[in-house]
Structure 1
Amino acid sequence: MNQSVFASPHSTGLVANRYQLQKLIGSGGMGEVFLATDILLGETPVAIKFLAQTVCDSKIQKDFAREALMSASLSQKSLHIVRAYDYGVSDTGKPFYVMEYLNGKGLKELIPLPLPKFIHLARQICLGLQCAHQGIQIDGKVYPLVHRDIKPANILVVPDPILVQLVKILDFGIAKFINYATTASTNKGFHGTLPYCSPEQLEGENLDSRSDIYSLGVIMFEMLTGAKPWQPETDLFGAWYKAHNFEKPRAIADVKPNLKIPSQLNNLIMACLEKKASDRPQNVGEILQIINSIDPLQCAIFSTNISSLATPKLTSGYELIAALKKQSHQFTWPQNKPIQEIVFPQQLNLNQNNLATVWLMLPKKEIQLRANCQIHNRFLFVTSPHPMLLWVTLLYNQKLEPKWLPCYLDTQNPLNRQLIISLVNNASYPLICFTLEAPHSCIQILNSDIEPSQRQKLQIWLEQSQKLPLASQAHVSKNLLKQQYKQIQSQMLQQLSSTHHMEQLAKKLS
């Protein structure tokens, strides 16, 4: 990290003899953000934020350096916190920090959100906050970090080939520094964004993670309704002080009568908005537990009519393949997966459609050999002792050994249920093939159609899973399915052999 005093970027266009400013890309109450290139790393694009607060006092500059260092350390721990690379103070006393450049949209631009997208994004916001609140370790001591200015403008949503929409939280630690610098220079003890401030923040009290939880409650209310829980007559401090300290938040049902959400989610948001910190969820883990318990199928029922699940959104497998191939260059092998011959399910987003996909890694030569295989699938399900689905894909060619691609899905896992909903909706799924050899590229995308009878079964099994009590013996059910897997392999091969025999006979007769 660079803590020296640099020349003013506005006069030279070069920051720290390394970052070449390109253009202003954002501004607000906290300062200005510039797009720049890192000339030491081959013109890599970065974003540089110059804070509006001028600091000339050496002690305050050291405090900024400490906060920036802690924030940079935090950004290495969570995917959902913007990555910080460098920091410093210009010769005019403007603190700045350098961060990854992200081409996305502010959460504010996406509000209001349908329930499934709300769940997806709210969960990621919580994961970022949880990481910060748990703290970072410096010299053997843990330092929890409170954001102090959680609001839609500080949450960026960027495209992602795996998560579809990836949340990045901005400005961790900056609000605390600005508040300190403002207090030291003007004797005013408050800095924040009034609609999202907790009562204790408005009072100038010492803050902990529960203050961020209050702000999160305001954001979640707004994400669903497009409005804030209060409507004060003015935007002045006094009006918001009265709202946060004394006025009851509006009910979600009153603000948006046609919006239907699960009762546990409504209760969670209202609990986050409690005036007393002791009455709110005491940590973000409690919030995540409730969000994770909300079933994707339940979201689909609240968002659309259940009968619409059976309507395919992409009727042609060829259309699906063509659309995916246009994006195949974006696909990279996940860092958390080993480099070996494996197969796993993954959800993607294509043209506003959620797609269940199968990712596999094979030697390049085998992928090329399998390109012209027939592709078949079957699904098996057991309800007891634990609801578990076996999703089998077969690459079949009479001249080659059959290639089996099994995936086991615990249907009490919300993410797995979302995969099954995608299978029902889209009537087909792609197989995305990566080479075992470096650079592990995606070189082939195949497609497997799902028979209507199989889709009907999947929908029935989803509804059954929803009604079953929570279980904890997934390994037992997986072993049961493994036994059935051997039977289904022989059945599928026998059926394919019979079909091939009939086709050959028909050719002779014709």
Structure 2
Amino acid sequence: MIADANVGRVLRDRYHLRQLLGQGSMGRVYGADDEALGGIPVAIKFLSQALLNERMRERFEREAKTCAQLGQRSIHIVRVTDYGVDDEGIPFYVMEYLRGQNLSDLILQQSPELPRFLYRIKQICLGLQCAHRGIQVEGKICPIVHRDIKPSNILVSQNESLGELVKILDFGVAKVLQPEGHHTNCFMGTLAYASPEQMEGRELDARSDIYSLGVMMFQMLTGKMPLNVETHSFGGWYKAHHFQKPQPVSTVNPNLRVPKILENLVMSCLEKSPTDRPQSVSEILGTLEPLEERFGTGLQVAQRIKASLSRLPVTAGPKNLSLVGGDEIHRLATWPSQMPIAEIVFPKPLQTSQGLMPMLWVMLPRIEILKRVTCSRYNQFLFLEMPHPMLLWLTVLYNRGYDPRWLPCYLDLRSTPGRQMATLLGATGHYRILFFAQEEPQRCASVQNVTIAPAQCQLLNDWAMVGQSSRLPPNPTLSKDLLKQELEKIKPQILRKLEALYSSGSTAFHF
């Protein structure tokens, strides 16, 4: 076996290449460590040396720039963070390192249950919707057509707080639709998933991706393709896509119980003429909404929380937390006149000399505050996207010998204040708890600082983005109730961890 010369290289005095992850027609992808950021894993894609011509260089650079913009707007598109050329003149770009399985492998294992199918296809649609809405090119918004939507370009990973996170990969043959763009005039894509107009080399729009999405949805539901060909050649697939009528889902697998509205949606995506298909991914999402409400409500909430408690490493915070600006906070923080004088907890940022800071405002009897002058502090953030993007921000104060004090609050991430607070928490990496005594509410009695795990900071930013892009009908009460129910179920697990950490002497920690 010939050793890969790239393995072991340090690229630009920063990226240490560790292993070859895969290769395709356009190049190779390596796993690497970003030494400038403490050795965090990244993936690096190099353009194939066989394609080192000006046209392919431009396409490769365009792919990087496209993913960089789209990845900032949607967590369902792979995120690109850097672009460059190595010492040998080979272009590369750096992207997030994703651990998981591609959808093609998952389809071979078994067809998913309906709630899981809806959960996955919703995320794929959100990523496609973002691409079709476009990116900035020379000051103009230009839509992106992926042109190669297929299961092997979809990655399903397990996220400790989101559950299954689905991302679209490989924008290598994507097309930027510019007002004065040239026609494609050649076929690019994968034969089995290509739309009839794509087979003809015509100029494409979002409806071509919708056809490919229809093929993939059919395959996800049944494990089979909607069209059959005699030979896997361009001519064979051209004939099938243009003239063969797709098999109904119910015919392929009579034992498969698929709601008629879903079967009709899949078949409409497979229409030969673009005008007969759904005209946008937003239309598909609208059709899926009642199915999500019926079959997918609360899907994976318990699994996410369980995974969060069991898999994330426990990290002890500093034992002597610095209250930077504590005196200033005592001076600035006054109990809001519109809030009741009662046991209550709520989030509200505070403007300080250091800028806007995230704060958790708590009112308790004075004796309860005194019990917790020194205590262990636990925090966790749990997110539910459906049926309404809602974030549970949980803080627990723990002293052995006293009942734990649970301080949950909920951020509606479809609202501007909720997103602002989530973004502030992610940006600062900590927050203050402001304690007010019911007996003397005029002034802040105590301030405690709580750190947030770096992984949670990144998720907070991602969740704020999800909340901003959500188009589901508002239903915050249901999501809040679901999170409350799951919190009650896992409180015993949290208490066991708190007891163990208290015994170890930690004063602040998170999972």
Q: TM-score, normalised by structure 2?
A: 0.60
Query: CA 1:291 to 1:30, structure 2 compared with 1: closer, same or farther past 3 Å?
Result: farther
Give the aligned partner of residue 366 of structure 2: none
Give the aligned partner of residue 474 of structure 1: none
Give the aligned partner of residue 201 of structure 1: 198
Paired letter, 2:210: I
1:211 aligns with 2:204: no
Paired letter, 1:143: C
Give the aligned partner of residue 5 of structure 1: none
Corresponding residue SS for 2:226 = coil
Give the aligned partner of residue 256 of structure 1: 253
Give the aligned partner of residue 382 of structure 1: none
**TM-superposed deviation, 1:36:** 1.2
Paired letter, 1:230: L
Give the aligned partner of residue 72 of structure 1: 68
Give the aligned partner of residue 404 of structure 2: 371
Equivalent-residue separation in structure 2 for 1:12 and 1:321 (angstroms): 38
Indicate if the aligned counterparts of 2:134 and 2:141 stay in contact, CA closer than 8 A. yes
Query: CA 1:221 to 1:79, structure 2 compared with 1: closer, same or farther past 3 Å?
Result: same
Partner residue of 1:340 out of 342, 360, 364? 360
Equivalent-residue separation in structure 2 for 1:15 and 1:328 (angstroms): 31
Indicate if the aligned counterparts of 1:161 and 1:330 stay in contact, CA closer than 8 A. no
**TM-superposed deviation, 1:234:** 1.9
Indicate if the aligned counterparts of 2:103 and 2:152 stay in contact, CA closer than 8 A. yes
**TM-superposed deviation, 1:367:** 11
Equivalent-residue separation in structure 2 for 1:65 and 1:44 (angstroms): 24
Query: CA 1:119 to 1:18, structure 2 compared with 1: closer, same or farther past 3 Å?
Result: same
Give the aligned partner of residue 236 of structure 1: 233
Query: CA 1:63 to 1:232, structure 2 compared with 1: closer, same or farther past 3 Å?
Result: closer
**TM-superposed deviation, 1:17:** 4.0
1:121 aligns with 2:120: yes
Query: CA 1:152 to 1:417, structure 2 compared with 1: closer, same or farther past 3 Å?
Result: farther
Percentage identity across aligned positions?
A: 43
Indicate if the aligned counterparts of 1:23 and 1:36 stay in contact, CA closer than 8 A. yes
Indicate if the aligned counterparts of 1:218 and 1:229 stay in contact, CA closer than 8 A. yes
Indicate if the aligned counterparts of 1:297 and 1:418 stay in contact, CA closer than 8 A. no
1:271 aligns with 2:331: no
**TM-superposed deviation, 1:149:** 0.6
Query: CA 1:283 to 1:372, structure 2 compared with 1: closer, same or farther past 3 Å?
Result: closer
Alignment of 1:63-212 (within 5 A): 63-89=59-85, 94-111=90-107, 112-172=111-171, 174-176=172-174, 189-212=186-209
Paired letter, 2:65: L
Deviation digits for residues 98-139 of structure 1 (CA, Å, limit 9, x no counterpart): 111011111112222110000001000000000110011244
Query: CA 1:348 to 1:17, structure 2 compared with 1: closer, same or farther past 3 Å?
Result: same
Number of aligned pairs? Answer: 363
**TM-superposed deviation, 1:422:** 9.8
RMSD: 4.5
Indicate if the aligned counterparts of 1:36 and 1:47 stay in contact, CA closer than 8 A. yes
Indicate if the aligned counterparts of 1:296 and 1:417 stay in contact, CA closer than 8 A. no
Indicate if the aligned counterparts of 1:105 and 1:156 stay in contact, CA closer than 8 A. yes
Deviation digits for residues 296-322 of structure 1 (CA, Å, limit 9, x no counterpart): 54469xx9xxxxxxxxx99xxxxx999
Corresponding residue SS for 2:18 = strand
Corresponding residue SS for 2:50 = coil
1:429 aligns with 2:489: yes
Deviation digits for residues 194-233 of structure 1 (CA, Å, limit 9, x no counterpart): 1111111110011111111111111111111111111212
**TM-superposed deviation, 1:344:** 12
The structure, 1 or 2, with the larger RCO (C-alpha pairs under 8 Å, 6+ apart) is: 2
Query: CA 1:59 to 1:104, structure 2 compared with 1: closer, same or farther past 3 Å?
Result: closer
Equivalent-residue separation in structure 1 for 2:22 and 2:251 (angstroms): 35
Alignment of 1:459-470 (within 5 A): none
**Gaps spanning 5+ residues in structure 1: where?**
1-7, 179-183, 304-312, 315-319, 332-336, 350-356, 374-399, 402-410, 444-510
1:327 aligns with 2:311: yes
Indicate if the aligned counterparts of 2:148 and 2:189 stay in contact, CA closer than 8 A. yes
Equivalent-residue separation in structure 2 for 1:166 and 1:244 (angstroms): 31
Alignment of 1:259-408 (within 5 A): 259-298=256-295, 325-327=309-311, 329=313, 340=360, 359-362=392-395, 364=397, 369-371=402-404
Equivalent-residue separation in structure 1 for 2:401 and 2:173 (angstroms): 54
Equivalent-residue separation in structure 2 for 1:191 and 1:412 (angstroms): 37
Q: TM-score, normalised by structure 1?
A: 0.60
Paired letter, 1:206: E
**Gaps spanning 5+ residues in structure 2: where?**
177-181, 316-348, 350-357, 363-378, 407-437, 440-471, 499-506
Give the aligned partner of residue 479 of structure 1: none
**TM-superposed deviation, 1:44:** 2.1
1:36 aligns with 2:29: no
Deviation digits for residues 426-455 of structure 1 (CA, Å, limit 9, x no counterpart): 9962246999xxx98547xxxxxxxxxxxx
Corresponding residue SS for 1:54 = helix
Query: CA 1:362 to 1:18, structure 2 compared with 1: closer, same or farther past 3 Å?
Result: closer
